[in-house]
Amino acid sequence: MAMMTETRAHVAHGGFFTRIVTGLSERYAQNKAYRKVVAELSALNDRELRDLGLHRSMIRSLAYEEAYRNA
């Protein structure tokens, strides 16, 4: 019983598996944010993009900056 408690405590404090799962979930969230920004900006027409001071060729780089700026 004591061994099981120690094992659980180790995993709860940032074990290898926990770090992998955390990293994967962060990458998934970043990629989801990237796809959302690309979809939203791509849905705008050229005039709406121009009103924002953007060109269609800038969409992916702006989405990347937005999604991964905190990484």
Q: Determine the Cα–Cα distance for residues 52 and 1; give it in Å rounded to an integer.
A: 62
Where do the structural domains in the chain lie, given as residue ranges? 18-68
What's the pLDDT score for residue 12?
A: 53
What's the pLDDT score for residue 66?
A: 92
Rg (CA), the chain: 20
Question: Is the model more confident about 9 or about 55?
Answer: 55
Tens-place pLDDT, residues 10-56: 545 579 999 999 999 999 999 999 999 999 999 999 999 999 999 99
